[in-house]
């Protein structure tokens, strides 16, 4: 895992060796006892926490807008013999996190030291038992294995170690931090991670999606679009999306121009430090759409106050290039998580990010990111319907506005609009038992919003027509009166049609419209986008929530849905 300050330099030599070696491309249930806290869209959110006091950790966690489900703090490491060393462990801190609903899964590190990592693999059984004892004593929720810089020769031992911990702690969460591997390397430290075998013996893999550029490399992104997406694609060859968490960097890297005009360095810099530099120094920022990364060119003058980063490193006069993930870059990676349906998102490391990051997390986690409505005529009405909780996407990223609305979907929407989710249900239809919308359909039957067919069926997957949606809305909403329902509005809707009154009433109230040729086309299917528009236009009217036959009419209890 990435370490700031001088610890970052440990990766320089191994990475240079790695990039010059020959590589070959790879060919291509714990659900009832292991549970993670979820938020609205079931995306898992974890972050690493290191190099600070417990008070600092608490303060940083308090800034996250309650978006963190799990933390991996720096409580566990291995010594030169591969035995466990503990740091900062206190019952008080762990209990405080549990009170916030946050799981505590310390990461086990060898701090990039190859010898201690190898010793740990050779000491797998004893080390696993030592970890179990600590997990039990402090009521920890699991462990995040972050042993790095161990060669491919220890691939089998690495898997055995993870498997052994899973066997010893079947009710705890075991995660493994694995190297991002966009090129399918099978040698070097990347080769020690057997994605397939590891995923079969742990709860999830945390892809360390950073360090594409590093100390000693040419200036470049910490994690470009191609680097990140190819790393996801590589992992999906060997495991499933629900086993993958994508780690993103909360830090950047900087290079300084030397006398020969070359940029040297690549040291780490936190997102907070980058933000402060942009406020106080001469910087020019550009966003590189090809790599989906931000780049800053900065000039520090001899007359400037030299800035300090990481609390101790002083940047002297000169020209610098900084690459990092700004909010746009982070949003791009969030969209990749949505695109591939990954389990969630991780980050290195808490406290390095700007405060605005957590607003972005809140927006992403608590709103559906619908990618297919930008060009749709009903976009704003769809978004309003989604914000109200009346409609949802068919997936997290797709609303499918042009697809027909089904009778099952209509039932679910009507129940949400009237907030009847906890209502007792009416008797079932013959063909809805076990259907995902069974409860909603039975509630709608109770309130007479939707009716079945003469044969006792409901046909939940049938499509709703334009005249059917008119009749449904007429039963459900209480529209304005004073309308002559006998006058014919459309050439293709006869006065004796069963839907005649409903179509006319909704037309007079501006809920439904016909076509330029004065036709309504009552038998055409209603699209999901049209349904959203109809329901939002009806929002200002009350709804009937007690439709009982009474002296040949309706006894109406009207509630507001404004």
Pick from 182, 103, 188, 184: which is nearest to 148 by CA? Answer: 188
Report residue 13: phi and psi, to 5°. Answer: -65, -50
Centre a 10 Å sphere on the Cβ of residue 250 and count the other Cβ atoms it contains: 24
DSSP 49: E
Q: Which tokens go with 423?
A: 């209502």
Strand pairing category for 142-146 and 173-179: parallel
Strand order in the sheet with 558-559: 477-478, 542-544, 558-559
Q: What's the count of helices (H) and strands (E) in the chain, helices before strands?
A: 17, 23
Of the residues 137, 148, 218, 438, which is catalytic? Answer: 148
Paired residues of 251 in beta bridges: 270
The angle, 0 to 180 degrees and rounded to 10, between the axes of the packed helices 466-476 and 407-417 is 20
- Tell me, rounded to whole angstroms, the distance of Cα 101 from its chain centroid: 18
Parallel, antiparallel, or unpaired: how do β-strands 44-49 and 70-73 relate?
parallel
**Does 363 participate in catalysis according to the annotation?**
no
- Asked if residues 214 and 287 have their Cβ atoms less than 8 Å apart, the reply is no
Other beta carbons within 10 angstroms of residue 73's beta carbon come to 26
- Which of 545, 466, 553 is CA-nearest to residue 506? 466
How far is the C-alpha of 535 from the C-alpha of 473, rounded, in Å?
8
| Residue 164 Ramachandran class (φ > 0 left, ψ -120 to 50 alpha, else beta) | alpha
| 539 close to 532: Cβ distance less than 8 angstroms | no
Residue 193 three-state SS: coil
Task: Give yes or no for a contact between 8 and 2, defined as CB atoms under 8 angstroms apart.
Answer: yes
Secondary structure (DSSP) of 208-258: E---SS-TTSPS--SS-HHHHHHHHHHHHTTS-GGGEEEEEESEEEEEEE-
Catalytic residue numbers, as ranges: 148
């Amino acid at each position: 895992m990435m370490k700031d300050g001088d610890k970052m330099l440990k990766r320089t030599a191994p990475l240079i060796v790695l990039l010059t070696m020959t590589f070959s491309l790879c060919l291509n249930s714990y659900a009832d006892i292991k549970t993670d806290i979820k938020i609205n869209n079931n995306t898992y959110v974890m972050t690493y926490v290191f190099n600070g006091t417990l008070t600092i950790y608490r303060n940083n966690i308090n800034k996250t807008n309650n978006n963190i489900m799990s933390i991996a703090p720096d409580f566990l490491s291995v010594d030169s013999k591969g035995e466990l060393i503990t740091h900062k462990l206190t019952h008080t801190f762990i209990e405080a996190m549990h009170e916030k609903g946050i799981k505590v899964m310390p990461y086990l590190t060898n701090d990039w030291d190859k010898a201690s990592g190898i010793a740990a693999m050779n000491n797998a059984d004893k080390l696993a038992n030592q970890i179990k004892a600590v997990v039990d004593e402090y009521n920890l929720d699991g462990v995040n294995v972050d042993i790095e810089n161990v060669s491919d020769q220890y691939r089998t031992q690495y898997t055995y170690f993870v498997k052994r911990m899973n066997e010893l702690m079947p009710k705890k969460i075991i995660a493994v931090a694995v190297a991002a591997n966009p090129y399918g390397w099978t040698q070097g430290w990347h080769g020690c991670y057997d994605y397939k075998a590891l995923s079969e013996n742990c709860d999830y893999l945390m892809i360390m999606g950073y360090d594409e550029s590093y100390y000693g490399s040419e200036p470049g992104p910490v994690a470009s679009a191609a680097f990140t997406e190819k790393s996801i694609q590589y992992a999906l060859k060997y495991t499933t999306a629900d086993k993958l968490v994508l780690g993103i960097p909360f830090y950047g890297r900087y290079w300084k121009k030397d006398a020969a005009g070359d940029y040297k360095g690549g040291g780490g810099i936190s997102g907070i430090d980058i933000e402060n530099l942009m406020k106080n120094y001469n910087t020019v920022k550009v966003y590189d759409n090809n790599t989906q990364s931000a780049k800053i060119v900065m000039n520090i003058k001899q007359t400037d106050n030299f800035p300090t980063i990481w609390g101790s490193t002083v940047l002297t006069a000169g020209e610098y290039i900084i690459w990092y993930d700004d909010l746009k870059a982070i949003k791009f990676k969030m969209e990749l998580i949505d695109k591939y349906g990954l389990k969630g998102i991780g980050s290195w490391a808490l406290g390095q990010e700007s405060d605005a990051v957590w607003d972005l997390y809140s927006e992403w986690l608590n709103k559906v990111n619908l990618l297919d409505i930008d060009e749709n005529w009903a976009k704003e009405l769809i978004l309003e319907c989604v914000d109200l909780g009346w409609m949802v996407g068919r997936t997290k990223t797709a609303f499918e506005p042009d697809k027909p609305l089904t009778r099952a979907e209509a039932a679910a929407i009507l129940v949400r609009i009237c907030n009847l989710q906890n209502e007792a249900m009416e008797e079932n239809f013959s063909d809805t038992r076990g259907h995902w919308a069974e409860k909603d359909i039975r509630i709608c039957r109770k309130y007479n919003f939707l009716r079945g067919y003469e044969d006792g069926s409901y046909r939940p997957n049938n499509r709703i027509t334009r005249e059917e949606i008119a009749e449904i809305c007429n039963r459900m909403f209480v529209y304005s009166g004073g309308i002559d329902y006998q006058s014919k509005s459309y050439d293709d809707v006869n006065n004796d049609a069963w839907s005649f009154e409903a179509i006319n009433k909704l037309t007079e109230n501006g809920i439904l419209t016909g076509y330029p040729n004065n036709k309504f086309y009552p038998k055409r299917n209603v699209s999901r986008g049209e349904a959203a528009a109809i329901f939002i236009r009806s929002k200002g009217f009350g709804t009937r929530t007690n439709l009982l036959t009474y002296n040949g009419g309706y006894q109406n209890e009207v509630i507001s849905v404004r």
